[in-house]
Structure 1
Amino acid sequence: MLNLTDRPASDEEGLVSSGSLAIPGQNLDETIKSGTALRVEVACAGEGTVTFTVTSGTARTAERVDCTQPMTNRFNFTTAGPSLAIQADSPDEDSVGTAYIVSHNS
């Protein structure tokens, strides 16, 4: 889905977090500062859709991804609090897998 090995070394220095999420599931990073500009990349595989929701303070972005399409959804996000939560939900929880990468948006 998302391949960290094909990314330039400069991207690795800006990496904030990456991983996969259970459905439903959430990862929380409480080390990030408010006002941090980020690039979020989300993907899924399988049969169905996943809605990824990124939240920090009052800032919130939701991105619905079709898992049958081999593409990565990318969007910019600026934190509005001292934490970053990434959540994944799907009505097809038994037939999808997820991946995400969060990096500094330079």
Structure 2
Amino acid sequence: MNQNQKRLKLIHGLSNETRLQVLEILKEGENTVSELMEKIGCNQSNLSQHLSCLKECGFIVSRQSGKYVYYSLANTDLFRLLNIIDETIFDMHWSKNEEIECATHII
């Protein structure tokens, strides 16, 4: 995997609202699937897919304790990355009604 492909994988992991919600929650500490479902308000199947994506992209790790699986951020650099994104978007000049995707979206 080359550098651009690694960047794309990282960006892909961040490109979904549910995954971003999971990362924000995990910034506060580890959570089980049940805790995440309650906080986010999505079903287990949907959340499991997002957790798998985040794990594959290297954002989160899990540990088993009894019958529970606990998820947490993979490393402290992710705190910095999420904070840098927040600082960056603070300085962006988007209108309140602007679409999430670019008007000239190219496939």
TM-score grouping bracket, smaller chain normalisation:
under 0.3
> Whose helix proportion is higher, 1 or 2?
2
User: Which is higher, the Rg of structure 1 or of structure 2?
Assistant: 2
> Whose strand proportion is higher, 1 or 2?
1
Q: Provide the TM-score with structure 2 as the length reference.
A: 0.27
The higher relative CO (CA closer than 8 Å, separation ≥ 6) is in: 1
Q: Provide the TM-score with structure 1 as the length reference.
A: 0.28
